[in-house]
Structures are given as structure tokens and as C-alpha cells.
A and B are shown apart, each in its own frame.
Chain A
Amino acid sequence: MSTVTQRKGAAFSAPFFIGFACLFVIPLLYAVYQSLFTMRSSGLGIGPRQEVFTGFGNFARGLSDSTFWAAVARVSAFAVVQIPVMLALSLAMALLLDSVTKRVAHRYRLAFLVPYMIPGIVAALMWMYIYSPRLGPLTDLTGIDFFASELVWVSMGNLLTWVGAGFNMLIVYGALQAVPREIFEAARMDGASELRIALSIKIPYVRSALVLTGMLSIIHTLQIFNEPLLFRNVVPEVVTKDFTPIMMIYYEAFDSNDYNYAAALSIILAVIVGVISMLFYRVTNRAQ
């Protein structure tokens, strides 16, 4: 191809990369710039508030802010429990689907994907009502108060698992379908049980799919916002303003009007998520 053609070809990606620069790169750079300033009241605190240059002051404040790190630790601890449970359910769904005929499997697969078709905020709202002791059926059935402070994480975990299990199942099941069928036949001929085949052949084959779903889930969990926000509407004394990192950033910006600090926290959080995803990827790939 001629250089002219190549240049024309490059032009097709121009709209995307211009948009990318404007909506990804510039906002991030601008956030870094904004976080170098702080709003200060001049003099005795009665004059108009002014933006003053404070260098990396906001970053230093963020790095030593125990409330922020508590929020990060809270969602991390939550992720460590909820994600393996959800992925185990997704894997179980996929393995069960893989052991019945295609026709039956397709019918159940659609059923498992029903939660994926519900808009996130609607799913959260719906569960709020189902958990509600006054309106929902669950408290009548079990006598449990799902908004009790020690149960809030369990209730939230169930909500996220319900929302995410079907989608993750789809990825794992897709990977499972790509395994050459002859392997199973050979194992069956050798007298391996279905359970044995699932554990020793199928699960190792879908490893990379599990790593992928694990990574997507970690990224998702570190930035949860909708679900805790709705829980906060019901039990504000348990789910505080700084319950999760994104909630803290949101309230710093729109409640405390400290946009500069919110910008610094966003950058710190983006770096944390990047590092955790990388580590997860490294560790799971090395173990292979």
C-alpha cells in the first residue's frame, strides 16, 4: 500500500484518538493539575476563598488519610470474600450447563442471564425492597434483618453476586465450549468420573477465563458506588459517607466542595486499581 493510502487509513482512527485525548488523557492531566491547588480562606477566614498552589499537598494528605485507606481496605476485604464466592457459583453454573444437552443448556443459560439484563440501579433498588423488613418477603420467611450492621456486607455481597454471576458464567461457559470434546471422551474411556473430568480437565482449561473474570470483578468491586449509596439511604449510620473510595470522592466533591482533594483521591485510586490489577495478573499467570 502506498504511503498516501496508509495516511488515509490512519485518518479513520483520528476521531477515536482525538476523542480519547479529550475524554481520557486531558481530564486525567487536568485532575492532576487541579490536585496541586487547595481552596483556602484568606486572612481570618472571613474573606473570599482562594485557590492557592500547594504542590503535592493534596496527595500527601490523601496518602496519609486513614479514612480513605480504611475505605480501600474495606472494599478490598469485601472483594477477597465476595469475588471467589461469585466466581465459584459462575463456574458451577457453567459446569452444570456443560453436562447437559445443548437444548437444555440454552434454556437454563438464558435463565441465568436474566440478572444481566436488569439495569444495575434497578437491580439494586429491587433488592433493597426485597430486603426491606416491611415490604420484602425475605424477612417474613427467615426472620433476618438484612440491614443489621453486621449483615450489611452479606446483603451487599449477595446483591453483587446476583448481578454478576450470570455474566461471568457466560465467559466461563464460552471458554468451556472451546475445549476439544475428544479429551472428555478419552477420559471417560479410561474410566474417569464426570466429577473427576470437571475437576482435572475442565477447570484447568477455563483458568484464563477465570483470571479474566476475576480481574474484571476486582476492578468493578474497588469502584462500587450504586449499591452502597442505596444502602446508605436505608442505614446511613452503618454505611457512612466514606464507606467506599468512590463514595468518599463523591462526597468530598459534592458535600464538602473540596474538588481539589477529590481530584487527588481519584488519581491515587486509579493508581491503586492499576497496581492491584497488574499484581493479580502477574501472580495468576506465574502460577500457571
Chain B
Amino acid sequence: MSAVASVRTLDGLPVGATQSRTSQALVLGGLGLFALYSIAPVWWLIVSATKSQSDMLYTNGLWFGEFNLVRNLEQVFTYGDGIFVRWVLNSFLYAGGGAAVCTLISLAAGYSLSRFTFRGRGTGLALVIGSFLIPSAMLTMPLYLLFAKLGLVDTVWAVLLPAFISPFSVYLAKVYVDGAVPPELLEAARVDGAGELRIFFQIVTRLMKTGAATVFLLAFVGNWNGFYLPLTMLRGEDKWPLSLGLYAWNLQRTEAETDLTALVLTGSLLAIIPLAVFMIAMRRYWQSGVTLGSLK
């Protein structure tokens, strides 16, 4: 827009900036209001996590009281023999491990669907795209029944295995391979006598760094947010992810001998941090991934 800003129209206003002062003020006002709506609740959470139980009740919710964050953190990490740390590690296992395997499987499948023309490829692609429409929550009960039969319920595999297979990730990977892996390069490698496995691991995966990062990130976020699947599958609290643990604390909040409100709020804030850091650091990837997804 700045490139055309120097061009003047007949009435002296720059092209592309013909808005009046009032409409510009309205635009900025609107942006400000939406930003406030998006951020204020998180601000409240940050402020509350620094407060003691009584300050939470008796001081203004949107500003700090006596700074009690260290005490709250101490409580979060020690309550119930430090079970919170266990939940954090579990969340990283489910989100990270699940996403890593999912990325590898999806890259291979995306590469196969994009660069080869075997029989059944069309059907496979239709299956992938068609199953976008199957919502995960609707699959959870059927999965539970099957896993119960197989004795997988209440094991980490009950949460990990479903994370490995994601039709959306395969579709995303295929779109990236379409754009990032030139067929001529593959042909040249074949002529040079490279095996198919070697071509995939040494050429395709290297060209697909951006695509892989996007697939991994979106899968990681999806798994980190997971709640219904672990709630259905997991019984023992030592296997729970953070989402389930915080939910359980919230349930016991009023029944436990100590009020757990500060624990729930401080724990919630901690649950946001890894995800927020990860997403801000890699926002280039997921922003492109989301836009790509919308092009289907």
C-alpha cells in the first residue's frame, strides 16, 4: 500500500488512503475493541495467577494485588506429590510423540499420493478428503469400544495411536509435496541409481522442511488441546495429560480440604505457556498451513 501512497488523486488524497479522519478513527477503534475482547480474559488469568486466595475474592480482578505467584507455583508443583509435573510430561509425550509420528506417516503418504500414479490412488485421495468430515468426537466412542476389546484402554497407546493418523495432515503434506518437490529431480535421482527409500529420506524430507514443520505444529496443537479422547480412555491420573488434570482439580476444587482455585488458575496459565511460545515462534508455518487448508 505504501508504494501507491505517493500517487495523488485529483482531490489531493493519496490513492488507497481515501478514508476520512472519522472513518480511520472508527477502523482503529474497532481494531482496538476486538483486541481488547481477545486479550482481556487472558490478562485476567495472568493477574489472578499472581494472587492469593483471599486477594482473588476481595481485590479488583483486572489488577494485581499482593504478589503471590511464587507461592502459587510452589503449590502447583508440590500438590499431590508433584503430579502436575507428571501431567506436563505426559502432555509433551502425547502432543510431541503423537505429532512426530503423525508427521512422518503423513509426509510419506502425501509424497506417495502426490508423486506416484498407482492403482487406487484416486480412491485413497478421496478417502483422505472425505474423512475430514468425520469429527473426532464421533469416532471416540467407537474407538473406545474397540480399544476396550483389545485391552488398550487406560494405556498411553489409547491416546497416542489415534494421534498418529490424521487425514488432514496427509492432505496438507500432499499439497506441500505438489509445490515443493519437482518430479524432474526425483527422475534424475532415479537415473543416478538412488533407491526409493533413499530418495524419500535424503531428498524429499529435505525439500519438505517447511511442510513438515507446519504438519507437526498443527498436529502438536491439536494433541495438546485434546480432552475428550483422554477423558474417555484414561483412568489412572498418572497417565493424564494437563487438560484432564486441570479439569480434575477444578472438580475437586470445593471438595478438597484446601481450596484449589489458585492451583487451577496458575496451572491453566502454565498450560498455555508452552503452546503460546511454540506458536509464536513458528507462526510463519501455521499461518500458511491454515490458509492452505482453506484452499481445499
Contacts and interface: CB of A to CB of B under 8 A. Distances in A.
Interface of A: 1, 5-13, 15-17, 19-20, 23-24, 26-28, 30-31, 34, 89, 92-93, 96-97, 99-102, 104, 108, 110-122, 125-130, 134-137, 140, 162, 165-167, 170-171, 174-175, 184-185, 188-189, 194-195, 209, 212-213, 219-220, 222-223, 225-226, 230, 233, 246, 249-250, 253-254, 259, 262-263, 266, 269-270, 273-274, 277
Given A125-B264, A185-B15, A253 B141 contact: yes
Contact of B31 (A96, A184, A195): A96
Nearest to A161: B37
Interface residues of A, dominant DSSP: helix
A135 B135 contact: no
B265 interface: yes
A100 B57 CA distance: 41
Given A114-B38, A137-B62, A273-B135, A7 B118 contact: yes
Given A1-B116, A119-B225, A219 B30 contact: no
Interface in B29-87: 30-31, 34-35, 37-39, 41-42, 44-45, 48, 56-57, 60-62
A129 B227 contact: no
Interface residues of B, number: 95
Interface string B101-139: 000011011011101111011001001000101111111
Is chain B's interface secondary structure helix, strand, loop, or mixed overall? helix
B155 interface: no
A116 to B, nearest CB: 8
A233 B38 contact: no
Given A6-B118, A108-B31, A27 B139 contact: yes
A15 B105 contact: yes
B96 interface: no
Contacts of A259: 145
